[in-house]
Amino acid sequence: MTKISAHTSSMNPSQVVSMIVFLVIVTAVHLLYQGAIRPFAEAAVAAYGSGATSNIWVILKDFEQQASVTIGLFCGFLIMYKYQRIVFHEEPLFTMDYLQAYDKTQALNVSEALNELEQSAYAENSSMSTWINCLRRYKNTQNVQHASNAITENVEMLAAQLESGNSMIRYFIWAIPSIGFIGTVRGIGSALAKAEEAVAGDISGMVDKLGVAFNSTLVSLIISIILMYLLHVLNNRQDEMVINTQKNCEKHLLTQLHQQE
C-alpha cells in the first residue's frame, strides 16, 4: 500500500511550533499597536482632525486591522515555512539517483536496494518514499508496469496531501476579508448612531466611524491580495516538486528495473 508521511507531504510545522509562533505574533502585534500605531493615530487625529483620515496610522489603528495583520503574519509564516521546506529539504533530492552506487550494467538486487532505502535517513522524504513504494511493488509483482503504476499512485497521493496541507492557509485568506467586512458593518452602524450629531453640524464623529468601516476593508483586502500571491508561488513550487519527483523516479529507477526483464 502506498504510504507517505503526512508531516513530510503536507510540510506544515508541528502544532507546538505553530502555537508558539502564533502567540509570539499576537504579542508582538499587540505591543506594536499599543506602543506605536494607536498613539501615533491619536496624535494625527489631534493635529489634523478629520483631515487625518488618510494618515497611515489612522488607517491601521482599529481592532479589525490589528486582527487582520496578526492573522496575515501567521499565514505568511505558514507559507514561508512550507516554501523553505521544499527549497532546502525536497529540491536537493529531486534529481538524485538513489541507486547510483549500484552497477548499472548488472541486474539490480531489488531486496538489497529496498532495504538500503528503507534504512536511509531520508526514507520519509517524498522523493525517496516514491522509490521505496515502487521497489516494493516490483518486488511483489515482478512487473515493471505495476511498479510504474505505483509511482503514479504515489505522486497523485503526494499532490492531494500537499493540497490538503494548504487548507488552513486558504481558510485564513478567506477569513481576513471577512474580518474587514465585520469592521465595515461595525463602522457603518456606529456612524448611523452619530447621525444626529452630523445633522446638528458636528460631522467629526460620523467621519471617524465611517473611517473604521472603510479602513478595515481596505487593510484586509490588501493583506489578502498579498497572501494570495504568496500562496500562488507556493502552489507552483509544490507542483514542480510533484512533477520532478515523478520524472526523477522514472528516469533513474524504472530504467534500472527495465534491465531486469
Distant-in-sequence, close-in-space partners of 95: CB < 8 Å, separation ≥ 6: 244, 248
Count of beta carbons in the 10 Å neighbourhood of residue 17: 12
Distant-in-sequence, close-in-space partners of 201: CB < 8 Å, separation ≥ 6: none
What is the value of pTM for the model shown? 0.83
pLDDT tens, 93-127? 777 888 887 777 777 888 888 898 888 887 877 88
Give mean pLDDT, residues 36-49.
86
Contact (Cβ atoms closer than 8 angstroms) between residue 216 and residue 65: yes
Residue 191 half-sphere exposure toward CB, CA atoms < 13 A:
17
Which of 213 and 128 is assigned the larger pLDDT? Answer: 128
Give mean pLDDT, residues 144-164.
88
Residue 102 half-sphere exposure toward CB, CA atoms < 13 A:
21
Give mean pLDDT, residues 12-25.
93
Query: In the structure, what pLDDT confidence band is assigned to residue 35 with cuts at 50, 70 and 90?
Result: very high
* C-alpha cell of residue 101: 552506487
Where does 33-100 have alpha helices with state H? 38-48, 56-60, 63-85
Query: In the structure, what pLDDT confidence band is assigned to residue 168 with cuts at 50, 70 and 90?
Result: very high
pLDDT of 205: 59
Distant-in-sequence, close-in-space partners of 37: CB < 8 Å, separation ≥ 6: 57, 60, 61
pLDDT of 221: 94
